[in-house]
Amino acid sequence: MRFAFFDAKPYDKPSFEKYGAENGVSFKYFETKLNEDTAELARGFDGVCVFVNDVVNAAVIDKLCELGVRVVALRCAGFNNVDMKYAFGKIHVLRVPAYSPYAVAEHAIAMLLTSVRRIHKAYIRTRDFNFSLSGMTGFDLHGKTVGVIGTGRIGRVFIDICRGFGMKVLAYDKFPAEEIADGETVRYTDLDELFEKSDIISLHCPLTDDTYHVIGKEALERCKKGVVIINTSRGALVDAEALLAAIKSRKVGAACLDVYEEESELFFEDFSGHIIDDDILARLISMPNVIVSSHQAFLTEEALSNIAETTVKNIVGFFRDQQCPNELCFRCGSAEDCKSGKCF
């Protein structure tokens, strides 16, 4: 089995080489992202292996089908970059539903602590032998209320960590898991109450039509003054322009962004010698109370190894049995997995 591996980075290769070699799957690594202009590179391969910012739209799907490519193996959990409705009946889409919820939840906490305790400022100051503490006052997390939108794998790990800090959790999920609510420290509620009462809001839901700009102008207006917004899920959950306005008006106290609406042209690449055209991102980054990381929440050794192992297992299972439990399906009527894998 030969796969064209798009948007390849040096840190991807060791794990994919290891699991690929053990299972008879070879990868040809392309640094470029998959899109309409690059799909031709998949000629002669059995499938493509793609990540969060590769584009698998109708035109790309048509091209892949024309080339005889049968499988899109996502090496990530989210699949908002794939036109699943169009893919249905044409090409099989496999994904890695979970690889390390701890990696993402811990990164969200790292960003939160960095932000509220001004660690990013302290790092720069002390390197310049500036030991002044002015402007460095933070706040205790203990006793604060954190609103968690999306209580799946990552959201639950995040909630566990928050409980360890002595925080109260207000949770919202389209499909609540009542077993995690104890009524005291963790309670499910609606978005209205979550926005009104949370000191910190962390997003752990997928990007869908329902969740697009869930943090927008109206939501931010309902939030507490000084609210901290954490987004480690998908950029378009947050209306970046509305967030910037709320930061300027001092409504939002801090923002921790591992993902950004328009990240696909920028994140994962070095633009340090370039002029960035995106004024909203540039302005956000210029704010003292905004921390941006470039979609790195997943990037731990454990997660990279799990991603490669599951991707290779998905590919091998699919070619052996013509089905895979991690195949995505739209016949079920939603963007959730088809657990049976038999709808396709």
- 309 given a catalytic annotation: no
Least distance CB 283 / ligand NAI (angstroms): 22
Instruction: State which amino acid sits at residue 205.
Output: C
Which residue number, 62 or 173, has a Cβ lying nearer to ligand NAI?
A: 173
Tokens 């994919």 locate to 16
Query: If binding is defined by CB under 6 A, does position 98 make contact with ligand NAI?
Result: yes
Which residue number, 85 or 174, has a Cβ lying nearer to ligand NAI?
A: 174
Which of the residues 311 through 330 are near ligand NAI (CB under 6 A)? none
In this structure, are residues 187 and 171 in contact, taking their beta carbons and an 8 Å threshold?
yes
Residue nearest to ligand NAI according to CB distances in the complex:
152
Task: Kindly write out the interface string for residues 134-153 of this chain, putting x where it contacts ligand NAI by CB under 6 A and - elsewhere.
Answer: ---------------xxxxx
Sequence-distant (6+) residues with CB within 8 A of 103 are 297, 298, 299, 300, 302, 303
Tokens 């420290």 locate to 185
Cα-flanking dihedrals φ and ψ of residue 115, to 5°? -70, -50
In this structure, are residues 171 and 186 in contact, taking their beta carbons and an 8 Å threshold?
yes
Which of the residues 191 through 250 are near ligand NAI (CB under 6 A)? 204-206, 208, 210-211, 232-234
Query: Read out DSSP for 243-288?
Result: HHHHHHTT-EEEEEES--TTGGGTTTS--TTS----HHHHHHHHST
- 263 given a catalytic annotation: yes
Catalytic residue, candidates 92, 95, 118, 263: 263
Task: Kindly write out the interface string for residues 152-171 of this chain, putting x where it contacts ligand NAI by CB under 6 A and - elsewhere.
Answer: xxxx----------------
Tokens 């290779």 locate to 312
Contact positions toward ligand NAI, by CB under 6 A? 77-78, 98, 101, 104, 149-155, 172-175, 204-206, 208, 210-211, 232-234, 258-259, 295, 297-298
Active-site positions read 234, 263, 295
